[in-house]
């Protein structure tokens, strides 16, 4: 067989046309494997650079930059106010630290400037100082009321002819209704409570708290003394003279 006859397509002997099977083979050969190249060629690395390349350091500086010490000046000023107030109230450092549950060394280090107080420490110190200050005010009021009560009782004893020291030495916690000294001392005490409540205009609740009795007890005492003043001119004159002394 010649080269020309080998390359030429076989024909159908009956009709002189190319056989269908041979047409399929020739079509595949003519196409030259279209699609094979596209399937075997390396794919274009679309986006590889953007996905594998170094990422932009967006926000890295802001996240890793050292934080500023915000509020240091405010914390120092707050601590100075606390320490000044503590000193003015006469509250010892150890007592304040105990109430705030803070070690005294921590307080000392903050005061001399070796460290800065945290906000939580400031809050604990302020809360403890407020509680101690409230207690200090109550103690001061109680001390003042008791001193005034004792002074007025002594004045009443002098004006009614009773021995001052004997009256003031009576223990009124143990009731002795059959003891004349106890009865007189208790009566003069009620008069003194009345003069404190009406003469100095101390609230009944505050006065009762300072003296260790209830508001109702103070109110009852005031009512009883007022009733006695209405029925006894002599007693009313005594109370009026004492009222002028207390107010003066």
So where are the chain's domains? 72-137, 138-247
What is the CATH class of 138-247?
mainly alpha
**Domain 72-137: CATH architecture, name and number where available:** Orthogonal Bundle (1.10)
Answer yes or no: pTM beyond 0.75.
no
Q: Is 155 within 8 Å of 245 (Cβ atoms)? A: yes
Residue-level pLDDT at 21: 52
User: What's the DSSP call for residue 112?
Assistant: T
Residue-level pLDDT at 37: 45
Q: What is the pLDDT along the chain (248 residues), one digit of tens a residue?
A: 444 443 444 445 444 454 555 545 454 544 444 444 444 444 444 444 444 444 444 443 444 444 444 467 788 899 999 999 999 988 889 889 988 889 999 999 999 999 999 999 999 999 989 888 877 666 777 788 889 999 999 999 999 999 999 999 998 888 898 999 999 999 999 999 999 999 887 788 888 888 888 889 999 999 999 999 999 999 999 999 999 988 87
Residue-level pLDDT at 71: 60
Q: Is 138 within 8 Å of 132 (Cβ atoms)? A: no
Residue-level pLDDT at 165: 93
Cβ-Cβ contacts under 8 Å for 225 (sequence gap 6 or more): 190, 191, 194, 239
Residue-level pLDDT at 199: 85
Residue-level pLDDT at 134: 79
Residue-level pLDDT at 138: 64
Residue-level pLDDT at 181: 92
Residue-level pLDDT at 9: 45
138-247 and 72-137 share a CATH fold: no
Which of 97, 196, 212, 90 lies closest to 149, judged by CA? 196
């Amino acid at each position: 067989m010649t080269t020309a006859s080998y390359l030429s397509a076989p024909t159908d002997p009956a009709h002189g046309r190319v056989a269908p099977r041979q047409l399929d083979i020739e079509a595949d050969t003519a196409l030259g494997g279209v699609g094979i190249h596209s399937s075997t060629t390396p794919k274009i690395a679309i986006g590889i650079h953007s996905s594998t390349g170094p990422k932009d350091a967006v926000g890295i500086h802001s996240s890793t930059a050292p934080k500023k010490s915000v509020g240091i000046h405010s914390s120092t000023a707050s601590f100075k106010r606390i320490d000044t107030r503590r000193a003015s109230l006469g509250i010892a450092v150890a007592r304040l630290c105990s109430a705030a549950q803070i070690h005294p060394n921590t307080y000392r280090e903050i005061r001399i400037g070796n460290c800065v107080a945290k906000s939580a420490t400031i809050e604990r110190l302020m809360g403890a100082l407020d509680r101690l200050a409230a207690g200090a005010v109550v103690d001061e009021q109680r001390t003042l009321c008791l001193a005034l009560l004792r002074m007025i009782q002594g004045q009443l004893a002098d004006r009614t002819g009773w021995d001052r020291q004997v009256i003031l030495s009576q223990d009124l916690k143990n009731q002795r209704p059959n003891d004349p000294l106890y009865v007189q001392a208790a009566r003069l005490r009620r008069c003194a409570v009345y003069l404190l409540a009406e003469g100095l205009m101390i609230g009944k609740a505050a006065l009762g708290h300072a003296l260790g009795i209830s508001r109702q007890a103070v109110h009852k005492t005031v009512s009883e003394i007022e009733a006695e003043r209405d029925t006894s001119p002599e007693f009313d004159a005594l109370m009026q003279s004492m009222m002028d002394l207390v107010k003066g």
